[in-house]
Structures are given as C-alpha cells and as structure tokens.
A = this chain, B = another copy of it.
C-alpha cells in the first residue's frame, strides 16, 4: 500500500478513531507499556544493530547517544505512558452550550484533528512518545522517524501498533513510513492528512514548510534574546544568561543574542565576561562593547544566526524600544526575556515583543511543555495559527459545532417571524 492509499484509508477511519472512548485509548497506552516491557530483549537487540551500523557509518558521538535505547530510556518511556494514561482526557469536552432560541441548542465540543503526520529525529523514545500522544488525543498518525534508528523503530512500532489494535483501536490508527522517499509522498497527501509536525534541523523544517500544502506546526529556528535593561539585578542576570546559553546549548530555546542597555554595560560586562570565560563561551559583540571589553567583533550576520553552540552575540541599545525593534526584526518569535526590576519596562517589553514566550527575569530554557505543566509536549510552534509556543495535547485537538433542533428553518429568522435569544448555558 502506498503512503497516499494508506493516508486515504486513515482519513476514512479517523472518525472511528476520534470516537474511541477514553477507556479504550487509555487501555491501549497501558497495553503498549506492557508490550514494551515484555519485549525488552527484542528492542535492545534491534537497537544494538542500529548502534553497530552507526559505528560503521561514523555517526558523531552526540547522535549515537540519542540513538541508544537504554534500560533508563525504557523506564522513562514506560513512565511517560503511565503519566499520559493518568492525564485527564481533553477529547469530547464541551467548550460551550448556547441556546440560540427555544429548542435550538448549539454545543461546541473538542475533538481530534484527524490524521497527523509526524516526521521526527532519530530517537527511539520519540517514536513511543509521539505515537502515544496521538493515541491519547484520538488522532490517526503516520510516523516517520530518523533512518539511523530504523531497526529499533521497526520493533517498537510493531509492538505499539499491535497493542493499539488489540485494545480496540481501528486498523488504520497508526502507520510507520520507513523510507526517506516516503516523506515527499506524505507531504503530497493534503486531501487526507490534516497536519504535519516536523521536528529536526532548521533546514529540514524549512524544507517541509516549503514543500507541502498541508498545514505545518513547528519551528524552523530559535534565535532567542535576553535584553538587560538599565534597572536590573546583576545577581539575577548572570545566572539566567549562563543557564539560557549552557543548560542545553543545542536547544531551540537557548539564548543566542544579548541586548544590553547602554547604561547597564559597566555593571554587567566585567562580571559577565568573567562568567563567560569560565564556561568557554565566546562573546561576539559590536564595537562599542568590543572597544572596552575583551571579545570577538560581531558582524550583522551574527544577529541572524542560531549558533546552537557556546557562542553569544551581543550589542548595546540606546532604549528599550530599540531592543524590542531588534528582537522583532531578527528574532524567531520563539522566546525572549527581559532582565529588569522595573515593572513598567517589563510590561512594555512583554506586550511589544512579538514572540510565543516573553519572559521577565528567568531563563529562556523554561519554554517547554513539561515545564509549563502540560504533562506532555508535541513540539514548540513559532507560528501564530492554531497552537503557539510549547504545544501539549490541546494542539492536537480541534472542535466541532453540534446544533440540536426540532425542525427550525432560517427563513423564520430572516423574515422576523422568530428571533434568536442567545442564552449561554455553559
């Protein structure tokens, strides 16, 4: 079966998946947990094959670390499955009830989106997480993981799929694409697939966004800023900047650019320079900073670069307005922070910076679904349509309108014979 045929079959089965009761979806998650634990040997054996191949292909150590499916990772994903099972169901929730007129009642109810395509990095735990989020939210899903973990993914997917179907979910609930060529086939399925979620490098996400008519939820890059205002607490600024740069340097919510109010420079820079050096962070700064403090000169291009490395660009600004303007122009609308003790300045910054996350006095690394308390994360969106910022299960849901009548026709309301009274019942 081609991806196109599979997607079309899924589309027709998706209402059945959407209608699956909470207990069946939750039970499927627990069955998956049991299947993974019962088949740990098969999983680890397949993973050993992937690791061997990675070694033969000289895959970098950092990537190999992600490929490796350890006892700890098995424990993490099975714990994740249990937490997800315990999470309150957000599907089929009544959002509002409005009586339009006597005997004519409008109900808005949350429901799954339908068919989701997820293309993700070579991490076996990601496969388990994504499949389980789709099941919990009642969506059908086509999954394509990184090819470096193909053996592990095959075993994991088969276990997940069979546990899901045996728990009563429809035959077309999940499908795994295994070949790289299948990505372009998936991207062509705009009549069957409702949403694509790509995870991976900037270039990869950009490629996906440019090559499909299907709505895409995600983020290509993350050029996050910290702006140090004139009225700031250096005791807060230094640890926040260091954490935002070093706690996980390759993350999209790591800081890349520091904007410093000119009046903050003399207090901030000596302490900062020392701290950056201690952490082997290279500072690339504009000349007004470079003239006074030891650092590499920054070019215009630095401010449009997501380093994902121990490099930080910096420039001074004359005013908070200039900082906001710089962020809105060069940023990725991801997460940006102001370090200030001034409430009015924070308010101005947080209202005017056009980003999914606007922070005061804390690390940009907090931009994450788990840290926001969503229980699970699908990804982070820098788009403004549908979900924005860290996306939990809510981002995999839409709603439908149910209208219950007893023979009402529009002509009676158009002619004035009847009138709406719009009573909100919930």
Contact = CB atoms under 8 A, between A and B. Distances in A.
Contacts of A247: 409-411, 414
Interface string A354-393: 1111111111011100011100000000011110111000
Copies in the assembly, this chain:
2
A110 to B, nearest CB: 11
A363 B15 contact: no
The range of chain A's interface size is 35 or more
A106 B411 CA distance: 48
A18 B399 CA distance: 26
B407 A233 contact: yes
A162 to B, nearest CB: 25
Contact of A235 (B100, B236, B407): B407
A194 B194 CA distance: 19
Given A236-B406, A243-B409, A372-B98, A400 B362 contact: no
A268 to B, nearest CB: 14
Given A113-B384, A353-B15, A411-B247, A359 B403 contact: yes
A129 interface: no
A414 B353 CA distance: 28
A422 interface: yes
A204 interface: no
A410 B366 contact: yes
A360 to B, nearest CB: 5
A351 interface: yes
A304 B352 CA distance: 47
The 9 closest A-B pairs by CB, nearest first: A362-B405, A236-B407, A243-B409, A365-B410, A373-B422, A215-B385, A362-B408, A359-B403, A384-B398
